[in-house]
Homo-oligomer: A and B are copies of this chain.
Amino acid sequence: MPDPDDFIVVEQPVPALQRGAVLVENSWFSLDPSMRIRMSGGESSYFAPYRIGAPLDGWAVGTVVESSNPDFTVGDTLHHACGWREHAVLVPDGSDWTSPRPVGVGGAIDARHHLSVLGASGFTAWAGLFKVAQLGPGETVFVSAAAGAVGSLAVQFAKLRGARVIASAGTSEKVRRLTGALGADAAFDYRTRPIGESLRSAAPDGIDVYFDSVGAEHLDAALESLRPGGRVALCGQIENYNHGTGASKGVTRLFSAIEKGLTLRGFLARMYTDDFGEFRSEVSHWFERGMLTVDETVIDGLENAPQGFIGMLGGANIGKTLVRLQAEA
């Protein structure tokens, strides 16, 4: 588990803008469990490791305050990948999905929603359920870490598409939220009873899909409950992020996948960017009509981001964890 003393806030002068660059004043940035992976050193070529002494980064939204790029105007709201800072110099080149891009605000949509329901969290939930696991109406899905940024949206998206939803979380307060405002058909606290038992009680006839953000015992319980032909969207393994790879908690019930013809498919949202337009269209529609509850834990100020991040890893936060850098307009 990271410690607040592992982080330091540094002030640096903003450099002069080169041609094509813009200066953005960040209003919000995102804190995500996957950032923990990037703190574990250089093993993975899929998550660029954070370097000691260099600034952290991550999804952010902000306002253009200076522009040397004819395509961007002062006042534009941009979504970009240079969070964990108050100002960022960006060179939008459209090269990949981390490249800065303008986003619309107005009506129900605030800039911060492009970090949650309309951004990476929402897209991860949507792609995992519908593209990776091919969840269909009338099926039963189990969502773990269901009170978190991705899970809380997965629960609601699945309900809106006509599935039955079973959810797990780590406090009784979260469990109440899940069966209350978030609309899960059943929910349980995975800390109070073996997960397999809770899942069997909630879904005595089994489940069709498991949306996995946890790994380990959660995945084993799901493998036992999945029905023939069931699917697992492997989205994260928060259970293992604070261990070295060698100490990763194993999955022991993969034999179930053979007996029942199960499919387990891992994914990162960026593998499904071709589907981003379809996602935005469907989820904006729901959001603008007030059909979605967007839970948020808001941390004020860069200096409080480390504690907010640590709280998120420890399960203290509800919904999307965001750092607010300025008073809202």
Contacts and interface: CB of A to CB of B under 8 A. Distances in A.
A184 interface: no
Contact of A261 (B215, B254, B262, B268): B268
Given A263-B263, A263-B264, A263-B265, A257 B245 contact: no
Interface residues of A, number: 34
A259 interface: yes
A103 interface: no
Given A46-B259, A259-B44, A259-B46, A237 B254 contact: yes
A266 interface: yes
Interface in A28-82: 44, 46-47
A254 B235 CA distance: 11
Contact of A252 (B46, B249, B262, B268): B249
A234 interface: yes
A18 interface: no
B271 A267 contact: no
Contacts of A261: 265-268, 271
Contacts of A46: 259-260
Contacts of A257: 234, 264-266
Nearest to A46: B259
Contacts of A253: 245, 248
B258 A268 contact: yes
Interface in A271-295: 271
Contact of A245 (B248, B250, B252, B258): B252
Contact of A262 (B44, B240, B259, B265): B265
A316 interface: no
A256 interface: yes
Contacts of A268: 258-259, 261
Given A215-B254, A219-B254, A250-B251, 14 more contacts: A215-B255, A234-B254, A234-B257, A236-B258, A237-B254, A237-B255, A237-B258, A251-B254, A254-B264, A254-B266, A257-B265, A261-B267, A262-B266, A263-B264
Interface of A: 44, 46-47, 215, 219, 234-237, 240, 245-246, 248-268, 271
6 contacts: A237-B254, A245-B252, A246-B252, A261-B266, A262-B265, A263-B265
